Amino acid sequence: MAPAVPSVRPSARAPEPAPTARPTDAAERAAGLRRAIGSLMARSKKTIPHYYLSTTLDLRAALTWMEAQNAGRPITERLVPAALLLKASALAAKDTPEVNGFFTEGSFRPSAAVHLGVAVALRHGGLVAPALHDADSLPLEVLMRQLRDLVSRARGGRLQRAEMADPTLTITNLGDLGVDSVFGVIYPPQVALVGFGRLREEPWALNGLIGVRPAITATLSADHRVSDGLRGSRYLARIDELLQKPEEL
């Protein structure tokens, strides 16, 4: 006798495939932002003749002064090294106008104001660089407050259109990720980008004596249509000079 074939009830159905997961709005926004950044950076590398410089900054004087200033402040109002680096970069740009402005319609237009674009990595991916307006004229305490606010609102998606539209010079700082130096790509129509690496201790020779000092690598990516190695070197040297007199920032 042949074995009985199990009956199949008419109501039985094959399992339906699970619905395909759709990307979240945040993922879609991040992907769109990444595409936009990639397109902009590709255009920058194709159209802007970049040149690159780097130098090592001695931060002993700046950090000693900062620690003394922070001694009497609440934690929420204390300065961080980034504030000093931003202020020195802004003041040096005022003295070296070839790094601060826009190259449009075949010519360079220097900016009378220094609006520092601060590169901020977003939580879901992507990057924005909103502006700290008039950074050269802001007292360090105000610059520090505005920097915290800017980063918070950038990551919360609450930036204003004007903050995204008018940076005259961009700063990127990857030191908190352990990077020694960063050579960035210029954001057109800007003509320069400054990069800072991690704060580290280095052997330092001065007046025939060797010691250990806190140091950081500063880099400059600049547009050769507007400036050259001489002007770029003067800009980085000016940042170094300013950091040796932090009380004047």
What's the CATH code of the domain at 121? Answer: 3.30.559.10
Give the separation between CA 249 and CA 89, rounded to whole angstroms.
10
* Residue pLDDT, tens place only, 227-248: 999 999 999 999 999 999 999 9
How many angstroms separate the Cα of 244 from the Cα of each of 58, 75, 210, 215?
8, 25, 19, 12
At 6, the pLDDT band (50, 70, 90 cuts) reads very low
The single-letter code of the amino acid at 185 is V
The angle subtended at Cα 95 by Cα 248 and Cα 53, nearest 5°, is 105
Does residue 145 form part of some domain? yes
> 157 vs 15, which has greater pLDDT?
157
Place of tokens 């590709």: 42
Mean pLDDT of 162-172: 88
Does residue 143 form part of some domain? yes
pLDDT at 26: 63
DSSP type of residue 196: E
pLDDT at 30: 66
Share of the chain above pLDDT 70, in %: 87
Does residue 153 form part of some domain? yes
Does residue 201 form part of some domain? yes
The single-letter code of the amino acid at 49 is P
Give the separation between CA 85 and CA 18, rounded to whole angstroms.
53
Specify the pTM.
Answer: 0.84
Structure-token pair, residue 95: 């003295």
> 125 vs 51, which has greater pLDDT?
51
Mean pLDDT of 192-205: 93
Domain that holds residue 139: 49-248
Closest CA relative to residue 176, chosen from 49, 85, 103: 85
Does residue 13 form part of some domain? no
At 37, the pLDDT band (50, 70, 90 cuts) reads confident
Share of the chain above pLDDT 90, in %: 61
At 172, the pLDDT band (50, 70, 90 cuts) reads very high
The total of structural domains in the chain comes to: 1
Does residue 9 form part of some domain? no
Structure-token pair, residue 82: 């980034």
Does residue 4 form part of some domain? no
Closest CA relative to residue 166, chosen from 129, 139, 121: 129
Does residue 8 form part of some domain? no
